[in-house]
Structures are given as C-alpha cells and as structure tokens.
A and B are shown apart, each in its own frame.
Chain A
Amino acid sequence: MAKDDFKIEQEVLPDKGVVLLRLAGYLDAYTFEHLEETIADLFAKGHYKLLVDLQNVEYISSAGAGVFVGTLSEAHEHSGNIVLMNPTANVREVFELGLDAVLPGGRGPRHRLGSALILFRRTAILAET
C-alpha cells in the first residue's frame, strides 16, 4: 500500500477558529504518523479545536484511534476539543468496541457538520468548566 492511500485535507471554518480535517483512506499502523504530525502541527499553531470528518475513512486500527486518544487531553487543556463526525460503518464498529465512550462524536451514527459543531461547542464548554 502506498502511503498516499491516506490523505488529509484541512479547512479553517469561520466558527471560532475550528479546523475541519477531512480524512480519507486507511488509517492504520503504517499511516497514523501522518495524522499525528498534522495534529501536532495544528497544536503548535494554536489550533486546538479540531473537527474530524471520517466520511471517507475506509478503515481504522488502534494506531489511528490512538492518535485521537493521545491528543484529546492536550486539546482540552487549551480549551479546545477533537470531535469526530461521519464515521463509516467499518469505523463505527471499531469505535463501538469501547472507544466511543471516550471520543467525542465517535458514538454518533452520521453527524452532519452543523450538529457536529453543536456537539463541539457543548463539549468545548464542558472542557472549559
């Protein structure tokens, strides 16, 4: 598999500096570093509010999910959050093994952008309190 089988697109939303990450492809032990480096780069630039669109993620392993687990706390420490939306059936089944209890948005069936942003605001408020 070529590493370019996993891609990330970034878009800064006009909603209090939320950054939308559109992921596509396979997120596994071979490709997770791309996501890890992207999030580290965003944190370094002061972007701690990340909305992650999983609509085109065909597969996720613990290495990929671990990136969210390992970075969520740092986002919270800076009054931010990492909210997942639109998990595909394959990805949702993995989250339902227990990860959905701790990953914001991971439990939802198919969030639209608007509802995900609402969830983002709610969890961000919770993080701030």
Chain B
Amino acid sequence: MVSSTHCEFVVPPETSCLAHLRKLVTDALNNASFSPAKVNLIALAVDEAVANIMEHGYGGDSGRAELQGAKIAVLLDLTPELLIITIRDKCVRFDPRSAPEVDLKEQIKTKKRGGLGVYLIKRIMDEVNYITRENSENELQLVKYLDDSSGTAKSNGLGLKKAGVALAVLAAFLIPALGSGTPGVFRHQAASGGLYYG
C-alpha cells in the first residue's frame, strides 16, 4: 500500500453523478488495505452522504437557477492507519448526526422509506463528524480505521496509538479547508500531484 494518498473529486448536486462517484472512490481505494467488500461499503457510505446533501441540502432540485455551478467536494485522505473522507458543500446545513435513530420495524409499519442512509453510514464508518465553517461551508468527515480491531476502540476506550490517531483526525478536521475543487468536473489527484482524470 502507498504510504499516503490524497484524492479529490468534485460533483454537481445531481444524483445522476452518484454511480460515477462510487467508481472513482472504489478505484482510489483499490490499493488500500481494505478488502474489496469493505471498499464497496465505504463507497456506499460516500454515496449515502452525498445523496443526502443532494436531497436535503439542495432539495433534490439542481436545476434551480441559484444552484447553477453548485458543487460538492469529496476528498479522500488515506494513511497507513486510517482513511478520512471529507465532504464539503455550501448548501443548507444537514448534520447527519442529528438524524433520529432508525427503528426499522417502526419504519416498515409507518411506510417510511427515508432515513436509512445515515443508518448505513453509522454502521459502515468508525467516526462521523460535522461542522459548519464561518464561510458557510459545511464539512462532513467520515473516518475508517484500516485496522479492523479499532472497532473495539469505540466501545472499550482508545489505546495510546488510537488516541494519537484520533487527535490527528481532530486536528485535520479543525484546520480550515485548503481550497475546493474545480466546479462541475470530476478530479482525481494522487499524492504525487498528478492529475489523471478530469
């Protein structure tokens, strides 16, 4: 596995772009230490998060004039220990952590189909963080540890190594954004700075 990789994709708020985004995420994680099954689930988590922004943030109507040129940025930062996915937008704030817990049986009973995206994200990823910056940019951060045993960290407390990683994640989250991607196009940028998709 490469020591560190950074990829960045930018999509318009249109659900027709989701399949393409999933493929880019899957391809970007092919060299990571995740199993193919886990990569598929991580791509699903990204799909769910971005689809939520499209639906709740942009109201599922990207054709509105004020949304022309709107974009959602997806950044992947892969280190030997963890994957940090950062999703940025400037639409209506939607903090998935504030979504009510899903009761599937009750949901079936009440014929409600929505709300499952956050349910899946929380089951796939190890951490979900969300902030809104002063420039009105919303930032959702999804974290996945490469070491499966880290799952115990959530319930049994963090060890020193995990605590260090958690602090690094927190620092990365609190440092202001370094800039967003090119609007309206997909961009895939490797650690080397090479631009080979766009």
A→B interface (CB under 8 Å): 1, 3, 5, 26, 28-30, 36, 59, 61-63, 65-67, 69-74, 89-90, 93-94, 97-99, 101-102
| Interface residue tally for chain B (C-beta within 8 Å) | 31
Contact B104 A98 (CB under 8 A): yes
B154 at the interface (CB under 8 A from A): no
B123 at the interface (CB under 8 A from A): yes
Contact B40 A93 (CB under 8 A): yes
Main secondary structure of the interface of A (DSSP, over half): helix
Contact B113 A67 (CB under 8 A): yes
Closest to B110 in A: A73
**Complex A-B, nearest 4 residue pairs according to Cβ-Cβ distance, in ascending order:** A70-B113, A66-B113, A62-B116, A1-B19
Q: Which of B43-51, B64-72, B158-166, B171-179 contacts A (4 or more CB under 8 A)?
A: B43-51
Question: In the complex, which residues 110-148 of chain B have their Cβ closer than 8 Å to any Cβ of chain A?
Answer: 110-114, 116-117, 119-120, 123-124
B→A interface (CB under 8 Å): 15-16, 18-20, 22, 37, 40-41, 44, 47-48, 51, 54-55, 104-105, 107-114, 116-117, 119-120, 123-124
Closest to B41 in A: A93
* Contact partners of B107 in chain A: CB under 8 A: 69-70
* Contact partners of A73 in chain B: CB under 8 A: 108-111
Known: A66-B113, A69-B116. 20 other contacts (CB 8 A): A28-B47, A28-B51, A30-B16, A30-B18, A59-B22, A61-B47, A61-B120, A62-B117, A63-B51, A63-B117, A65-B116, A69-B104, A70-B113, A71-B111, A73-B108, A93-B41, A97-B119, A98-B123, A101-B104, A102-B104
